[in-house]
Structure 1
C-alpha cells in the first residue's frame, strides 16, 4: 500500500509535472531528486520507477511530441546520476545531502568498491590496451605514455626549479593511474573527452576520483595529466576536472627534451615564477 501511494504521487501528465517543477524552482535550483520527484532517501527501485514513468510522458518516441524533449533530457541526466551508486553518492556529498555522521562510513564502503572496479577494469582491458598501443604505435598514432587523475598539486612548490620535470613523488595526491583507461577510449586515432558536456572524468569507464573518498579533501580540485606520443613526437597536457580535452593537439607538443610533468595551474605558475627569478 505504501509503495503504491509513493508511486501514485508522481505527476501523471505534462501540465502537472511542469507546475510542480516551477514550484520547486521558486525555492531553489532544481535538484536531480526533484527532477524525478523522489525523496533524497529513495531506493534504487523508486528511481527506476520514476524514470520509466516520466519517460512514457516525455520521450519523443513515446509521446509523439518533441516539444518537451528538453525535459526528457533533464530526466535522463538525473537518472544517469541517481541510478549509479558512485555518481549518486558523489552528487549527495557535493550538495550536502548526507548526514555528516554517516559520510566517512559510506565513503569508505563505496571507495573500496570503486577501487575493486578500477583494478577489474584494467585486468579486463589488458588485451584491448595492448592491441591499441600496437596499432597506434605502428601507425605513428596516439599512444598514451602516462595519465594521472586526482590531486596533482605540489607538496612543496618552493622546492621546484624552473627546469625540473615534476616527479610524482612531489605531488600531494591522492591520484590514480588512468593510462589504460584513456588508451582504450581512443577511436580512429583521436580522443575527445567532454566535447558535448562538462561531466567529471571520474565517471569515465574505469575511472574514479580518489578525492571523493576523503571526507577532508572533498573540496580539493582534481586534474587530469596526459603524457602521450603522436607522430613520434612527445606531447603533454594537464586540464582541470570536467573540462573538455582533445588529443592530439599541436599546442600540447613538447619542444626540446624538457617535459614539465603534471602541472595544474598552480604548478605552472610556480614554474613561470622560477624562470623569471633565474632570468
Structure 2
C-alpha cells in the first residue's frame, strides 16, 4: 500500500488500503484543512509494510504548529528511525522512545532548515494484526473500540497536567482569559517535536502503550485535535461504529467535527480489524 503525506490547502483528501496478511484488516483516512489562514499543517502516514516475514501496519497523525516542515520531516523519517532501532523486535517500547528522542534531536539540529515550529504526533504500529504499539507526543489521540466501548491508548500532554515538570525545567504555564493553558504563554501542549525556542521547557519523551488485538477489538481511530476538541472518545466511536468501510468512517468523523464547528485542521485514520 502507498504512504501518504499531506493535503492541498483547498482540498479534502481521502483514501484507503488493506492488509495483505488478513482480509479482515483495512484502513481509511480523511483530511480537511481548517479555517485558519495558514497552510494545512496536518500530515499523516497510512500503509502496510512487509518486513521479512512480518507485516507492519504503520499509521500516524502529525499535527504541526507554526510549521509544515517539521510534520513533513516526521512523515518521512520517524517510522524508519523506529524500525531501524536494533532492539525494535525484542524491546519495542524502549526502541520507540529512543527513536522519538533521536528524531527530536535531529529536528532541533536542522532548525535552520526546518524552522522553529514543531509538531504533535501519534503513531500506531500494528504487528502482524495481533498487537498495537502506540506512542504519542501532544494532543493527537489514538482510541480503540472494544465491543463498542471507547478506550484511549494515548495520553494528552497538556500544560495544566504537567505544570510541575515544566516549572522544574524553568518554564511556566500561563492562561489568558478565554484561552487554554500554554507553556510560557505560547504552546498549548507540554510535549512535542521541535519548538526550538521552547525546548528547554518541553519534553520529547513519548508515552507508550501496548494493546493486544483480540476478537472484541473492532477498530482504531487516530485523529488530530480537530476531532477531539469537539468530540469525546465515546462520541467518536458511536459516530462510526456501524460504518464498515474505514474510508467512509474517517470521512464521517470529519463531517461530524465540522458540524460541531471545529475550526482546526482535521485528520482522521480509521483501521478496521474485523469485517
Same fold? TM cut 0.5: no
Instruction: Identify, as 1 or 2, the structure richer in strand.
Output: 2
- Structure number with greater CO (CA < 8 Å, separation at least 6) is 2
Instruction: Identify, as 1 or 2, the structure richer in helix.
Output: 1
- Specify the structure having the higher radius of gyration (Cα): 1
Q: TM-score range by the shorter chain?
A: under 0.3
